Amino acid sequence: MRRFFLECAGFSWSAPARSLRRDGALTVARRARKRCRASLAAALQKKYSSSMSEGVPYWPHAPMHCFDERGIYMVTAATYQKQWLFNSPEKLSMLRDMLFKYADQFEWRLQAWAVLNNHYHFVAVSPADASTLKSMLSRLHEYSAKKLNRMEGVSGRKVWHNYWETRVTHQTSYFARLRYVHQNPVHHGVVENASNYEWCSQAWLERNADRSFVNTLGRFKTDRISVRDDF
């Protein structure tokens, strides 16, 4: 992975690159990673800037404005070795639409989501039996991996690594996590305005929630919540 980012920064994988000190190489890699993200974001936005007004599929339910005691979970999943596998609008849309499909099928009510090139997050209200989460994600990961591999003409490639879930137990934590997920593309430097990124829920929130709720949510701080997001 470090080799990839060094090459993005303009270094060839030769003696000069190998001779970089460890700390210097890591700094270069981080800067290159940021530039690569920005380039990908620009390409995505340029190609699909008008798609939000062209009937993009969206979660058909309304946002929930209060805490629900039945069970609210935040889920994060990552690709194998954090590879940027969902690296085109078509692939991102495929994963997002499958998330919608299986969440609906297993009766998980999505309240926020963000799909990026090597991970995703969502916040959802569970059905009566929250143990169905494992089955839902197994189905999502199995079929999205098969579809992605068919799209790229490869066979048997491992796509997903793992997932992590947290049960949200109080309202402040719930609202903070909602904001974190709605704004995740901004956190990763993909876009400046999350509502312009069609693979997250910010635009859906703004279309379907009261303006007062959107404004209230925007005031919640997210720096104290513990979220696995080193992608």
Cβ of 42: how many Cβ atoms within 10 Å?
A: 12
Chain mean pLDDT for the chain: 80
d(CA 2, CA 25): 8
For the chain, which residues score pLDDT lower than 50? 1-22, 44-57, 59, 63, 65-68
d(CA 48, CA 62): 25
- Starting from the edge strand earliest in sequence, which strands make up the sheet with 109-115, in order? 109-115, 119-125, 72-79, 160-168
Enclosing H/E stretch for 218: helix 211-218
Summarize pLDDT for 130-148 with one digit per residue, the tens: 999 999 999 999 999 999 9
Answer yes or no: are the C-beta atoms of 227 and 76 closer than 8 Å.
yes
Summarize pLDDT for 12-61 with one digit per residue, the tens: 333 334 443 445 555 555 555 555 555 555 554 444 443 343 444 454 55
Enclosing H/E stretch for 73: strand 72-79
